[in-house]
Structure 1
């Protein structure tokens, strides 16, 4: 599976032309999700696709970039279960057992945001202490002080951070890209805040 992030005009027919180009280049679309709607009249979409055997990802990128107004922002392998993971499924996993909602959100975020890792981090007098981390998370996390939603860089990882309260944050990381969009930062804040509310209610 490949995950393709594209920018395209928000006009009738754009998605159809993109899908035709992907199909002609040997890609088979499994699902499409709008990641961000921009004020300039463009959308950013994540496209999950499979490739015909022997077809190279570069051919799909070239075919997409040849469509008027379309720009490929990112393409990478996608191994997380072969489908996109909507926020509703994250919420369902949090409410299934509210007592462990703060652990569940850390487990669910890497799939929901198509990133490599997530971690719940406590801010202490001695630095940052990882309380809970998904597979693939770094063994230590050194964040810059920030009181709200933020983007940072740790080594090769692009990181998005949401406050959890009580001197804790949740961080998610992507190795090499793509950058976290404003809409993704807002979604992260919403899901982390929801997890905190569910946990407090128990």
Structure 2
């Protein structure tokens, strides 16, 4: 399974032309999700696809880039299964057991945001301390002081960070890219705020 992030014109027919190009290159689309609707007349979409035997990911990228107005931003293997993970499923996992909503959030975020890891971190006087982390998270995360929802870079990881309250944050990381979009930062802030609210009222 491959995950393709593409930028394409927000005009009728552009998604159909993209799908045709992917099919001609040996790709079979499983799911498409709009990640961000830009103000410049372009959208950013995530496309989950399989390739037929013998087809190469580079061929899919070349075919997409050949479509007028389309630009491939990222392609990678996607190991989380055959579906994209909508935010509604994250919310359902949080409300299923409110006492551990913040832990459940950390488990769900890597799939929801198609990234390598997530962690809840306490910002103490002695430095950042990881309270809860998903598989793949680094053993230590050297966050810079910051405020609100933001991006940071730590080593090879691109991070998105949202405050939980009481000196804690939730961070998610992508190794090497792509950078988190503004819409993803907004989603992260919303989900972290929701999880914190659920945990407080449990």
TM-score, normalised via structure 1 length: 0.99
Secondary structure at the counterpart of residue 21 of structure 2? helix
1-structure distance, mates of 2:104, 2:82: 20
Q: Please name the residue that 1:52 is paired with.
A: 52
2-structure distance, mates of 1:81, 1:97: 24
Q: RMSD across aligned C-alpha pairs, in angstroms?
A: 0.4
Tell me whether 109-118 or 140-149 shows the greater mean CA deviation. 140-149
Q: Please name the residue that 1:158 is paired with.
A: 158
List runs of 5+ in structure 2 lacking aligned partners.
Answer: none
Question: Quick check: 1:145 aligned with 2:145?
Answer: yes
How many residues are treated as equivalent by the alignment? 202
1-structure distance, mates of 2:21, 2:146: 43
1-structure distance, mates of 2:136, 2:61: 28
Question: Quick check: 1:176 aligned with 2:139?
Answer: no
Q: Please name the residue that 1:135 is paired with.
A: 135
Q: Please name the residue that 2:105 is paired with.
A: 105
2-structure distance, mates of 1:191, 1:11: 30
Q: Please name the residue that 2:73 is paired with.
A: 73
Counterparts of residues 12-51 of structure 1 (less than 5 Å): 12-51=12-51
1-structure distance, mates of 2:119, 2:201: 22
Q: What do the CA deviations read for 1:39-66 (whole angstroms, capped 9, x no partner)?
A: 0010000000000011000000000000
2-structure distance, mates of 1:82, 1:157: 25
Q: What do the CA deviations read for 1:113-143 (whole angstroms, capped 9, x no partner)?
A: 0000000000101000000000000000110
Secondary structure at the counterpart of residue 165 of structure 2? coil
List runs of 5+ in structure 1 lacking aligned partners.
Answer: none
Q: Please name the residue that 1:6 is paired with.
A: 6
Measured after TM superposition, the shift of residue 82 of structure 1 is 2.0
Which consecutive segments of 4 or more residues in structure 1 shift more than 2 A?
none
Q: What do the CA deviations read for 1:92-129 (whole angstroms, capped 9, x no partner)?
A: 00000000000000000000000000000001010000
1-structure distance, mates of 2:140, 2:73: 29
Measured after TM superposition, the shift of residue 147 of structure 1 is 1.4
